[in-house]
């Protein structure tokens, strides 16, 4: 079959979706990935064919001047959300849709798999009459009965007061999408499609909503989810990792800590510096990876701390006792698959909600991203001494061992293509 994937350069969303592309290519399918120019090499590495956006805005999330969202500039969480809504999900939906429609006209596909934040991907597939699946690269984000509203990182409600809390916040959450729905409907009418009344209608109207995590990690609601929702399990790096050996003496028995933050620019330099300060002097070995958004050469390491631009997580985590993270899903899944508990320092987007689930399942603890080095140091010491956190992470390692998120997603796309719905 022919599969068109529609993605954008948003950091942790890229790797799991390209893993799906690789799984499809390995099964003998033709795959094209419509993506930003900066993603060309990553797409080619999967064996899929790269296709560039012509109408949609370009993006390179590793640098502030080319970041599409610039949500790190916002002064409030609502302001940050508005940037995602207006600069990615709804505002440019018509432009993303035009790229999808143009490509499908010259290269007819049997199914379209689109990043769920790119509503234009679903819009283009709908206009072209091609079955489609929205790929959700985080926990299930839409309102669900018995689940706290997405965004604030809340724990499940307890009693009438908690249910009232959820109802009030859920109403406010839906209202935040109203300006976006206006933009989306303008694009829909221009493409000859009827306007929607529900801001989540484009997602709920997809033939599949593929949630790239395990239902055991997500919160369970009190009512069934929509019929088009499928949990695939986490998309994990199963191939042998690049050889990596700790640079400490072979007989050094101090616990190893991996600290890793976003690959996209989120103004995180201060966080990296405070983390190095917090870990310096502790009876641990620590590896801090900065990603492309921070130049590792400009960060001064401690005697027991190494700072690197990039080291594959799969190479380090088998040696690690604890991970410190902003709570991106890729890092969280990788750590849990290795049985490593986490210290969570969420910085927005979906990260507070991921942290909430780690805390709920007793596989991690949460610390404010603005915490001082002293407070972070104390959290690390508590986490290392907490055997319950280690047990919680190891439970997920056992559960994830039997899951293949990329393969399950490929299965669902094959079913859509063969059924023609």
d(CA 165, CA 96): 36
Look at the chain and report how many structural domains it folds into. Answer: 2
Q: What is the band of 142 on the pLDDT scale with cuts at 50, 70, 90?
A: very high
Least confident of 55-59, 250-254, 300-304: 300-304
What is the domain-level CATH number for residue 218? 3.40.50.2000
Q: Are residues 291 and 408 in the same domain?
A: no
Domain span including residue 140: 2-236+403-419
Contact 406, 414 (CB under 8 A): no
Q: Are residues 307 and 232 in the same domain?
A: no
Q: Are residues 178 and 262 in the same domain?
A: no
Q: Does residue 326 sit within a domain?
A: yes
Q: Are residues 262 and 326 in the same domain?
A: yes
333 compared with 305, residue with greater pLDDT: 333
Cβ atoms within 10 Å of 171's Cβ, excluding its own: 11
Mean predicted confidence (pLDDT) in 352-365 = 95
Q: Are residues 383 and 415 in the same domain?
A: no
**Half-sphere exposure for 174 (CA within 13 Å, toward CB):** 13
Q: In this predicted model, what pLDDT tens digit does every residue of 198-210 receive, in sequence order?
A: 999 999 999 999 9
**Which pLDDT value is given to residue 421?**
53
Q: In this predicted model, what pLDDT tens digit does every residue of 371-417 receive, in sequence order?
A: 898 999 999 999 999 999 999 999 999 999 989 999 999 999 999 99
Q: Are residues 391 and 409 in the same domain?
A: no
Note the pTM of the prediction, 2 decimals. Answer: 0.90
Q: In this predicted model, what pLDDT tens digit does every residue of 52-77 receive, in sequence order?
A: 999 999 887 667 777 777 777 777 88
Cβ atoms within 10 Å of 118's Cβ, excluding its own: 27
Q: In this predicted model, what pLDDT tens digit does every residue of 100-123 receive, in sequence order?
A: 999 999 999 999 999 999 999 999
295 compared with 381, residue with greater pLDDT: 381
d(CA 390, CA 336): 10
Q: Are residues 150 and 284 in the same domain?
A: no
């Amino acid at each position: 079959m022919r599969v068109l994937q529609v993605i954008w350069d948003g950091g942790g969303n890229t790797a799991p979706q390209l893993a799906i592309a690789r799984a499809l290519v390995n099964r003998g399918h033709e795959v094209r990935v419509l993506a930003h120019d900066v993603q060309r090499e990553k797409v080619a590495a999967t064996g899929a064919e790269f296709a560039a956006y012509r109408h949609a805005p370009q993006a390179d999330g590793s640098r502030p001047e080319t970041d599409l969202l610039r949500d790190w500039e916002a002064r409030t969480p609502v302001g940050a959300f508005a940037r995602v809504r207006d600069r990615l999900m709804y505002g440019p939906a018509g432009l993303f849709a035009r790229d999808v429609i143009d490509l499908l006209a010259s290269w007819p596909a049997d199914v379209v798999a689109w990043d769920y934040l790119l509503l234009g991907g679903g819009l283009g597939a709908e206009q072209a009459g091609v079955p489609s699946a929205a790929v959700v690269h985080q926990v299930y984000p839409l309102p669900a009965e018995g689940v706290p509203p997405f965004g604030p990182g809340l724990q499940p409600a307890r009693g009438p007061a908690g249910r009232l809390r959820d109802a009030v916040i859920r109403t406010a959450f839906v209202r935040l999408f109203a300006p976006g729905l206006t933009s989306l409907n303008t694009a829909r009418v221009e493409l000859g499609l009827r306007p929607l009344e529900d801001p989540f209608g484009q997602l709920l109207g997809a033939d599949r909503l593929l949630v790239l995590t395990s239902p055991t990690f997500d919160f369970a609601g009190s009512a069934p989810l929509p019929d088009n929702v499928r949990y695939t399990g986490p998309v994990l790096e199963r191939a042998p990792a690049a050889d990596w050996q700790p640079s400490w003496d072979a007989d050094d028995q101090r616990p190893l800590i991996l600290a890793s933050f976003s690959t996209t620019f989120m103004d995180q330099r201060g966080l990296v510096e405070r983390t190095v300060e917090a870990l310096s002097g502790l009876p641990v070995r620590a590896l801090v990876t900065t990603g492309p958004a921070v130049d590792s050469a400009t960060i001064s390491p401690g005697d027991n701390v190494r700072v690197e631009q990039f080291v594959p997580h799969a190479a380090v985590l088998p040696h690690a006792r604890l991970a410190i993270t902003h709570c991106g899903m890729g890092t969280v899944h990788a750590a849990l698959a290795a049985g490593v508990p986490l210290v969570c320092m969420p910085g927005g987007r979906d990260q507070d909600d991921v942290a909430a689930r780690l805390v709920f399942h007793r596989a991690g603890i949460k610390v404010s991203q603005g915490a001082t080095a002293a407070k972070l140091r104390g959290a690390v010491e508590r986490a290392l001494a907490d055997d319950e956190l280690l047990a919680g992470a190891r439970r997920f390692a056992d559960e994830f061992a039997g899951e293949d998120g990329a393969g399950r997603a490929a299965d669902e796309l094959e079913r859509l293509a063969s059924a023609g719905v």
